[in-house]
Structure 1
Amino acid sequence: MLAAGFTGPIFCSEASAHLLPLVLEDALKVGVTRDEQLINGFLRTIARQIVPCKFNAWVEFPAFNGIKAHFRLKKAGHILGSAYVEIKHWVAGKPFLTVFSGDLGAPYSPLLPAPKPPYAADIVVIESTYGDKLHDNRRDRIKRLEQALLHSLQDNGTVLFPAFSIGRTQELLYELETLIHRLRGKKIHQHLGWDELTVIVDSPLAAKFNVAYQQLAACWDDEALKRLQEGRHPLNFSQLYTIDSHAEHLAAVNLLSSTRKPAIVIAASGMCEGGRVVNYLKAMLGDPVHQVVFVGYQARGTLGAAIQQYGPRGGYVNIDGQRIDIKAEVLTLSGYSAHADQQGLTRFIKGMRKRPKQVRIVHGDVDAKKALQTALAAYADKVVIAE
């Protein structure tokens, strides 16, 4: 939009205003240019146009054709800073409210408060990513993570988590700190205690987001804030090591693959389509002592999906033109989506004090949209699927 000449304000939450330049800088470096002058010029432009907005405060839109309208942002709980939007304009002298859900967060996710439904709306436009599914609860998810680590670390070796730098990495760290704190003093096996387990984040962008998340701790939920008050640091605990430079990254890959030192590594990208995780996969997929644990959706056609499909059956993948037989164990842990499931989406509509006149379902597969339409029928005057 900026390249097309857009010079207007970019409204976002205060946390998003903090994180957005980090995301865009990385996107430019990965997909557009390495020219620092161009990147810095772009970021200066963004900084001039961003308008940080407080949650729950009405903001007036710039006037357009004499029409006045206001909006306010409310916490969506998807990633730090994410918001759903209420827009108010006037029709025949009466206020008309439209709510755009954006991506709604799953309840009880680490770090972030669950989204609270709006009081009322004439129209709600709602996502349906998981409109036909129910997620596992948080307690079961952490238990499965513990069991997966106990199983995976029996042979020492590296447990590799491909994960996106924002959101998923911080959730994993939060839950790993939960396990290590609860199980401190206990053994994973005879020669390895939970206190001795090394956790590595190998992603410069994830490291930047970890710092940003800590700087924005005021946005965390009550549980996470209580941990801070107790002197715990869910994103910066003593066993956590962050790798920054490319040289350090290559050294870590070589050390872990050659020595089989027990460790947990979280590396980008989440679907293994580039990023530092690829070097770990090239070095470790052929060794049965290591494990690859997927905690996020693997889109069809990605390297992650191929490993997920062919790994359990002893198949192979091609990485950078090289055939690699998959001897490492491949595991998938469900329940780590940051999106609300059908129950969460339904709660968003059901929890409104006044029934919406219309709900429009967007952003989901056909089956998910239809299932959510059925689930919401009792809570709105009209529920339609938007094409």
Structure 2
Amino acid sequence: MSILDHHPTLISHGGATGVTGSCHQLIADENHSLLVDCGLFQGEDASSDAFEQLEVNFDISTVRALVVTHVHIDHIGRLPYLLAAGYRGPILCSPPSAQLLPLVIEDALKVGFTRDENLIQRFLQQVQGQLQPLCYGQWHTVADTSDLLLRVRLERAGHILGSAYVKVAWQDKRRNREQRIVFSGDLGAPDTPLLPAPRSPHHADWLILESTYGNRLHGNRANRQQALGEAIAQALKNNGTVIIPAFSIGRTQELLYELEDLIHSGQSPWADLEIIVDSPLAARFTQVYRQLKPWWNAEAKNRLQAGRRPLGFENLYTVESHEEHLQTVEYLARTGRPAVVLAASGMAAGGRVVDYLKAMLESEQHQVLFVGYQAAGTPGHDIQKHGPRGGWVMLDGQRYTIRAGVRTVSGYSGHADQRDLVRFVRQMKRWPSRIRLVHGDLAARQALGDALQALYAKRGRAVVIDVD
């Protein structure tokens, strides 16, 4: 019996039963494995012993490559701990992710490790030495032995710039057995600003599929810009600030793209409305996004050719220093000057957006506008859930009554919804015989599992779906 007879197998070190902490190890044989992502736990997924959860206490001796699907912190946040545990192999990712990843890791180091600039630069130097960009659509050999051939290939996932889903080609040479395993990473929804929509792979034998919105359907994405404009216009009638908690990478740039279009339309009061990005990290990401124009979609490129600046328009104002940030919060809270503020974190779990919320959440004059997923256990989730009913939220250990308006525009989600996830499977030429659902809460995984079972039953096909 070949040692490959019981492989490939999968071990999840995070992201199997929750929405964050994605980290999946594909065991190719007893000497070779792949690690797909190594993310941070957040919200309710984070345990009471945070340090223990951060530690990489699983065997990495067989890991031949870390494959990064995209650079959100819940997919790469444990990278410092992985390297501290001794991993020295390649970090495979798309070319845009290779440019963005060091910025994310630098910020994570400053927040969770050290402010020592020499240590940070030494660590970043190590990361740069291990980064190995892979162009979309090209196979890369990870292992080639007398028994095993293991290759990976990245395809556009449409979630954020540089995001990818991962095709893995596994072959037992002695028995001429092959399997195609696909890791979805985080899949984007159609009509995402700046990004082409993901295209399904030709086939998969085994699919590891995200399920963040497995039990939901997004609002009409075609009308999302109108809904965004209406939400902001309503808030501005009160002469208040519109606070948009937004991730520094991905969501901020997509919103800037849409806001530029609203301003370009010339409708009052947009022409003079100040759009404030209060996040040095988001500003740096936006600068890199501008450098990555070759990976933008056709619509965005057409706007550039027409002389427009989708990510650098005149109304855009960036807050850099902490002192300037505090002054901006105080000024907007005191004067009621209409403005739209984009600040991290996207789930209001920390960062500069918390100062805006503490200063404005108890005033009816202002508006909190959510445009992305709010994980259970985060302040963003509490504000989104309880705010419309006059609830309260804890921020930095203090209780705040929610009097500001609270609104959600769902069409901006960076994640595929149930319809999109089912379509990802349906459009394959050869459907997987096994699907493992990850990166979602239990209700989302179960609902998506039921929808996929119904799809297969309708076509008279069999499938094994792992929900737990």
Instruction: Identify the TM-score tier after normalising by the shorter chain.
Output: over 0.9
Per-residue CA deviation, residues 79-137 of structure 1 (Å, 9 max, x unaligned), is 11111111112232254321111111111111111110111222222122222221122
* Alpha-carbon shift at residue 360 of structure 1 (Å): 2.7
Aligned to 2:192: 109
| Pick aligned residue for 1:271 from 325, 339, 347 | 347
The answer for the alignment partner of 1:143 in structure 2 is 226
Which of 52, 57, 64 is equivalent to 2:133? 52
SS at match of 1:2: helix
| Structure-2 separation of matches of 1:317 and 1:259 | 25
Q: 1:40 to 1:76 in 2, by over 3 A?
A: same
Gap runs ≥5 in structure 2? 1-81
Moved more, 46-55 or 84-93: 84-93
**CA distance in structure 1 between the partners assigned to 2:112 and 2:212 by the alignment:** 26
Relative distance call for 1:276 and 1:376 in structure 2 (3 A) is: same
Counterparts of 1:1-387 in structure 2, within 5 Å, are 1-63=82-144, 66-91=147-172, 92-182=175-265, 184=266, 186-187=267-268, 193-377=269-453, 378-379=455-456, 381-387=462-468
**What TM-score, normalized by structure 1, do the two folds share?**
0.92
* Paired letter, 1:109: T
What is the SS of the residue equivalent to 2:327? helix
Q: Is the 8 A contact 2:205 2:433 kept in 1?
A: yes
Q: Which residue pairs with 1:190 in the alignment?
A: none
Q: Judging changes above 3 Å, is the alpha-carbon distance between structure 1 residues 365 and 310 closer, same or farther for their aligned structure 2 residues?
A: closer
CA–CA distance in structure 2, aligned partners of residues 65 and 94 of structure 1: 14
How far 1:326 moved relative to its partner? 3.1
TM-aligned CA deviation for residue 274 of structure 1: 1.6
Q: Secondary structure at the match of 1:375?
A: helix
- CA distance in 2 between counterparts of 1:280 and 1:48 reads 39
Letter in 1 for 2:121: N
| Amino acid paired to 1:124 | L
What is the rounded CA distance, in whole Å, between the counterparts of 2:123 and 2:190 in structure 1? 36
Q: Report Cα offsets for 1:260-280 as digits up to 9, x if no partner.
A: 111110011112222111111
| Residues 312-352 of structure 1 deviation map (CA, whole Å, 9 limit, x = unaligned) | 33344443454444332222222322111111111111111
Give secondary structure in 2 for the equivalent of 1:346. helix
Measured in 1, the distance between the counterparts of 2:386 and 2:368 equals 12
Cα distance in 1 for partners of 2:200, 2:180 equals 14
Contact 1:373–1:383 at 8 Å: present in 2 too?
A: no
The alpha-carbon distance between structure 1 residues 288 and 206, as it changes in their structure 2 partners (threshold 3 A), is: same
- The 1:320/1:349 distance shift into structure 2, 3 A limit, reads closer
In the alignment, the residues of structure 2 paired with residue 239 and residue 128 of structure 1 have an alpha-carbon distance, to the nearest angstrom, of 37
Secondary structure of residue in 2 paired with 1:165: coil
- Counterpart of 2:166 in 1: which secondary structure? strand
Does the 8 A contact of 1:359 with 1:384 survive in 2?
yes
Q: Residue 435 of structure 2: SS of its match in structure 1? A: strand
Q: Displacement, 1:232?
A: 1.4
Residues 1:284 and 1:381: Cα distance change in structure 2 (over 3 Å): same
| AA in 2 matched with 1:46 | V
Letter in 1 for 2:323: A
1:120/1:299 CA distance change after superposition, 3 Å: closer
- Deviation digits for residues 38-83 of structure 1, max 9, x if unmatched? 1111101101111111000111104468522111100111111111
The C-alpha deviation readout for 1:155-206, integer Å capped at 9, x for no partner, is: 2221111111111111211111122222x0x32xxxxx21010000000111
Separation (CA, whole Å) in 2 of partners of 1:281 and 1:65: 60
Shift of 1:305: 2.8
Structure 1 range deviating more: 48-57 or 215-224: 215-224
**Preserved CA contact (<8 Å) 1:369 1:385:** no
- Structure 2: how far apart are the matches of 1:292 and 1:283? 12
Q: State the TM-score, normalizing by the size of structure 2.
A: 0.77
| SS of match in other structure, 1:249 | helix
Matched letter for residue 235 of structure 2 = S
Shift in Å at residue 10 of structure 1? Answer: 1.0
Once the two structures are TM-superposed, the CA of residue 376 in structure 1 deviates from its matched residue by 2.4
Instruction: Give the deviation of 1:386 after TM superposition.
Output: 4.5
Q: Deviations over 1:292-317 (max 9, x none)?
A: 11222323332223333443333444
Equivalent residue pairs, number: 380
**8 Å CA contact retained: 2:143, 2:151:** no
Unaligned runs of 5+ in 1: 188-192
